[in-house]
Chain A
Amino acid sequence: MKVKDVAQKLGLEVYSAPEGLEREVTGGYTSDLLSDVMGHAKEGQIWITLQTHKNIMAVASLRDLAAIILVKGFKPDADTIELSAQEGIPLLGTKMQAFELSGSLCELLK
Chain B
Amino acid sequence: MNLEYKVEGGDFTSAGLASSQIKKILKQLNVDPAVIKRVVIALYEAEVNIVAHAYRGVIKAQIDGGGINLTLEDEGPGIPDVEMAMTPGFSTASKAVREMGFGAGMGLPNISENADDFKIDTIVGQGTTLRIGIKFR
Contact = CB atoms under 8 A, between A and B. Distances in A.
B23 A62 contact: yes
Interface residues of A, number: 20
Contacts of A61: 20
A35 B15 contact: no
Interface residues on B, range: 20 to 34
A33 B20 CA distance: 19
Contacts of B44: 38, 58-59, 62
A35 B107 contact: yes
A43 B36 CA distance: 12
B106 interface: yes
13 contacts: A32-B101, A35-B45, A35-B106, A35-B107, A39-B106, A39-B110, A54-B12, A54-B13, A55-B16, A55-B102, A58-B15, A62-B16, A62-B40
